[in-house]
Amino acid sequence: MATVSFTCDYCEGAHPSILEALARTNLIQEQGYGEDRFCRSAKEKIRAACGCPGAEIYFLVGGTQANSTIIDAMLRSYEGVIAVQTGHIAVHEAGAVEFSGHKVITLPQHFGKMDPEELESWLRGFHADETWPHMVYPGMVYISFPTEYGTIYTKAELGRIHGICKQYGIPLFIDGARLGYGLASPACDLTLPELAQLCDVFYIGGTKVGALCGEAVVFPRGNVPPHFFTTVKQHGALLAKGRLLGVQFDTLFTDDLYFKISRHAIDMAMLVKEHFKDRLYIDSPTNQQFPVLTAEELKALEGKVLYEVWEKLPDGRFVTRFATSWATTEEQVKLLVCGQYAV
Site for its own copies in 87-116 (CB under 8 A): 91-96, 98-104
Q: Judged by CB under 8 A, does residue 1 bind its own copies?
A: no
Stretch of 7-15, 114-122, 150-158, 267-275 lying at the interface with its own copies (CB under 8 A): 7-15
CB of 86 to its own copies, least distance (A): 13
Q: Judged by CB under 8 A, does residue 229 bind its own copies?
A: yes
Site for its own copies in 28-57 (CB under 8 A): 28-32
Which residue, 179 or 190, is less far from its own copies as judged by CB? 179
Cα 291 from Cα 243, distance rounded (Å)? 40
Q: Which of 46, 47, 59, 63 binds its own copies (CB under 8 A)?
A: 63
Site for its own copies in 167-226 (CB under 8 A): 207-208, 212-213, 226
Q: Judged by CB under 8 A, does residue 5 bind its own copies?
A: yes
Q: Which of 52, 143, 217, 244 binds its own copies (CB under 8 A)?
A: 244
Q: Judged by CB under 8 A, does residue 327 bind its own copies?
A: yes
Which residue, 9 or 157, is less far from its own copies as judged by CB? 9
Stretch of 45-53, 147-155, 167-175, 236-244 lying at the interface with its own copies (CB under 8 A): 236-244
Q: Judged by CB under 8 A, does residue 86 bind its own copies?
A: no
Stretch of 70-78, 163-171, 185-193, 269-277 lying at the interface with its own copies (CB under 8 A): 70-78
